[in-house]
């Protein structure tokens, strides 16, 4: 085994980090016969005390009250519980950004939940990450964002050029345009040239609960004279890095926000930088699209 191959084991470590969970400490929750999330056992017991909203469900889980017959009734009922649950330490503060609650990204939304409660309730969260690429004669480059030091989550860490969750009610294209403009000053006409290139998914247990994330991936080839500008204050700065330098940064450790590493590894696989000669190639490629529980 070559010395370079030994250094590359960092790729697999990132994938393992994003796919660590133990469902034995969680209970499923249901809307009718649809499994939509998982909550920690302590939260499950607390939710059962709200008898007008939750009752016992299959597989030792919970079921939303069947009297809550439509999208709006379900959304309002659960939303009314979030403030007291936050006061009791079961979840974080509100984000005032609604996320769909569904059995999958392409399934119809059965209700909405505030983004701040999505992980505590273990719902599938969608979104996207975009690689901003500048092609060169000798080697390609990638625009890398550094998150603002004032960000509430993962401050001052490296990030993909643009990324965002998918709020309920927006199309994927509209969300892409919005985040490109807000985070990097990319005009809509240029953002529309982004190519959808796949997705990545992972389930990750955290202090908040169970993250079940599935993100669409995009590549956007940018002109050499374009320089991104942080508009909404979420990004502190942008740096244009050679792709091999980005790859080395991923291999070396955790300079990037945890899930951005998966996005970059996917790019390296698709462009042949990371290939079948790597001893963990199969585990890396399959781990980029891990099945969600």
Q: What is the pLDDT of residue 10?
A: 87
Instruction: Give me Rg for the CA atoms of the chain.
Output: 20
In the numeric block, which tokens belong to residue 229? 């500008």
Number of H helices, E strands in the chain: 9, 13
Q: What does the pLDDT read at residue 92?
A: 86
End-to-end Cα distance, the chain:
35
Task: With CA atoms as reference, report the closest residue to 118 among 154, 151, 93, 84.
Answer: 93
Q: Given this model, what pLDDT does residue 3 score?
A: 43
The segments of the chain whose pLDDT lies below 70 read: 1-9
pLDDT at residue 273, as a whole number: 94
In the chain, domain spans: 3-18+125-287, 23-122
Q: Which CATH superfamily is domain 3-18+125-287 in?
A: Nucleoside Triphosphate Pyrophosphohydrolase (3.90.79.10)
The SS3 call for residue 55 is: strand
Instruction: Report angle CA 254, 259, 260 to the nearest 5 degrees.
Output: 75
Q: What is the pTM of this model?
A: 0.92
Q: How far apart are CA 30 and CA 55, in angstroms?
A: 10
pLDDT value for 217 = 99
154 torsion bin: left (phi>0), alpha (psi -120 to 50), beta (else)? left
Q: Name the CA dihedral angle for 280, 284, 285, 288, rounded to a multiple of 10 degrees.
A: 170
pLDDT at 6: 42
pLDDT of residue 8: 44
pLDDT at res. 31 = 98
For residue 58, give Cα distances in angstroms to 23, 32, 46, 123: 15, 10, 17, 17
The CATH code of the domain at 23-122 is 3.30.750.160
The per-residue pLDDT for 117 is 98
Residue 194 carries which DSSP code? P
The Cα diameter of the chain in Å comes to 65
Query: Which residues, 6+ apart, have CB-to-CB distance to 1 below 8 Å?
Result: 279
Give the pLDDT score at 9: 47
Handedness of CA 239, 243, 248, 253 (dihedral sign): positive
Distances (CA, A) of 163 to 123, 198, 218, 235: 19, 14, 10, 11
Burial of 279 (0-12, 13-18, 19+ CB in 10 A): middle
Q: How far apart are CA 235 and CA 258, in angstroms?
A: 16
């Amino acid at each position: 085994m070559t010395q370079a191959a030994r250094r590359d084991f960092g790729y697999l470590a990132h994938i393992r980090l994003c796919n660590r969970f133990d469902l034995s400490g969680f209970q499923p929750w249901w809307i009718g016969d649809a499994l939509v999330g998982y909550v920690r056992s302590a939260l499950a017991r607390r939710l059962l005390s709200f008898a007008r909203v939750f009752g016992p469900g299959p597989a030792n889980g919970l079921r939303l009250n069947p009297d809550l017959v439509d999208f709006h009734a379900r959304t309002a009922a659960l939303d009314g519980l979030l403030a007291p649950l936050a006061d009791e330490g079961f979840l974080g503060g509100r984000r005032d950004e609604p996320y769909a609650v569904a059995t999958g990204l392409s399934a119809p939304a059965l209700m909405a939940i505030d983004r701040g409660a999505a992980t505590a309730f273990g719902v599938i969260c969608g979104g996207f990450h975009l690689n901003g690429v500048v092609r060169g004669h000798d080697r390609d480059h990638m625009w890398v964002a550094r998150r603002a030091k004032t960000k509430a989550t993962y401050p001052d860490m490296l990030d993909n050029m643009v990324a965002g969750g998918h709020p309920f009610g927006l199309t994927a294209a509209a969300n892409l345009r919005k985040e490109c403009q807000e985070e990097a000053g990319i005009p809509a006409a240029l953002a529309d040239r982004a190519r959808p290139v796949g997705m990545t998914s992972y389930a990750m247990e955290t202090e908040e609960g169970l993250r079940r994330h599935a993100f669409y991936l995009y590549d956007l080839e940018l002109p050499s004279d374009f320089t991104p500008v942080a508009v909404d204050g979420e990004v502190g700065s942008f740096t244009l890095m050679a792709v091999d330098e980005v790859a080395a940064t991923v291999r070396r450790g955790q300079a990037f926000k945890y899930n951005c590493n998966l996005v970059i590894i996917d790019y390296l696989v698709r462009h042949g930088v990371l290939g079948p000669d790597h001893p963990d190639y199969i585990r890396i490629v399959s781990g980029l699209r891990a099945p969600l529980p």
